Each structure stands twice: as C-alpha cells, then as structure tokens.
C-alpha cells in the first residue's frame, strides 16, 4: 500500500490507525480498563497524538463504537413475514460470526460505562422499532424486543462468555435448531377471539 504523501492524508491515515487500535483495545478491555497509552502503543504513535486526534478517551470511545446500520434498516410495514424472517436469519448469521471491533468494544463496556449503555440501548431500540414496524401484529413491539434481546444474548453467550454449547454450532444445527427457534419467536400468537 502506498504511503500517504500529503500532510492531510498522513493525518487521516494516523487517525484511522488510532481508531482501529482503539477498537481493538476497547474490545479487549472495555472502556474502564482500556488506556490511551495502550491505544497509542497498538497504533504505534505517541499518546499525545491520540488525544490530539480524538480529544479524550471518552471521545475516542464514542467514535470507536459507532455501529453501522446497514441492512438492519431494510424492513418496513410492507415487509412480508418471509422477508422479516430472512432478514432476521441474516442478522443471526452475522451474530454467529465474530462481531466487528466496534460491536465488541460496545458490548464489552455496555454494563459498566453509561455512554456505552446509552449507545447500545439506542441501537437496540432502533432494531426493535424496525422489527415491530414490519410485524404490525398484536404485541409487535414486545415480541420484537424479545427477539432482539434473544439475539443479543446469543451473541454475548457465544463470543464473550464462550458458552461451550454455542461455540461450535454446525450449519446443520443452525438449520434444524436456530432457524426454527427464531421462526417461533416471530410467530404472532393465535387469536383468542371466538365466533
């Protein structure tokens, strides 16, 4: 890869290197235990450069944990139940893989750092509203929240707690166990009205 030649390009490259190093540092240690010095060491820069680019450890954390929205915004009220199911299967597939650095950093810190808690809550609230809009059935918001919470729990148990039963899920188990589990979570409860 060519080295940046202009001062602005070198500055941008340094900021990006610091950001990637911060994501790794926060992902490994969380906000509380990560240090500016540790980020600087990973990035191969002086700690003063970290602060010069991002202002503070908290400011760096905010930037480093921005979750990308991507396909999670695809659903709307016109989505079919099949489209909703396929969307969630796609999300489940993503969550079974190693989370991206920004998600690891946020998840590791969400129970100890108020800014991480707020960022994760806002992200998950958006996911719940998106799913509930697409569902539109009775108790759609509650069912969406339970589905989103279940996928979050699966992500934490698999990647952070390394729960033995979840670490080596096979493709067959995804098809025969996880997909039906998620499909059942999506199903609207039967009507209790009598005629």
Query: Domains of the chain: which residue ranges?
Result: 7-64, 70-186
pLDDT digits (tens, 9 = 90+) for 44-62: 999 999 999 999 999 999 8
Cβ atoms of 70 and 125 within 8 Å: the answer is no
Helix (H, G, I), strand (E, B) or coil at 18: helix
Domain spanning 7-64, CATH class:
mainly alpha
Q: Would you state the pLDDT for residue 188?
A: 62
- 186 CB neighbour count, 10 Å cutoff: 17
Question: Residue 67's pLDDT is what?
Answer: 74
Which residue positions in the chain have pLDDT lower than 70?
Answer: 1-2, 68-74, 76-77, 186-195
């Amino acid at each position: 890869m060519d080295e940046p030649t202009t001062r602005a390009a070198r500055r941008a490259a340094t900021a990006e290197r610091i950001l990637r190093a911060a994501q790794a540092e926060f992902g490994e240690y969380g906000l509380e235990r990560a240090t500016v010095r540790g980020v600087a060491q990973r990035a191969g820069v002086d700690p003063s450069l970290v602060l010069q680019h991002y202002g503070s450890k908290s400011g760096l954390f905010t930037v480093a944990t921005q979750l990308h929205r991507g396909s999670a915004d695809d659903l709307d009220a016109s989505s079919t139940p099949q489209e909703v199911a396929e969307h969630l299967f796609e999300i489940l597939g993503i969550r079974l893989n190693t989370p991206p650095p920004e998600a690891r950093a946020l998840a590791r810190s969400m129970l100890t750092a108020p800014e991480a808690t707020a960022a994760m809550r806002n992200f998950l609230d958006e996911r719940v509203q998106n799913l509930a809009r697409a569902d539109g059935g009775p108790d759609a918001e509650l069912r969406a929240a339970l589905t989103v919470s279940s996928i979050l729990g699966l992500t934490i148990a698999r990647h952070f707690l390394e729960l033995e039963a979840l670490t080596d899920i096979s493709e067959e188990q995804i098809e025969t166990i996880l997909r039906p589990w998620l499909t059942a979570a999506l199903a609207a409860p039967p009507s209790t009205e009598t005629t």
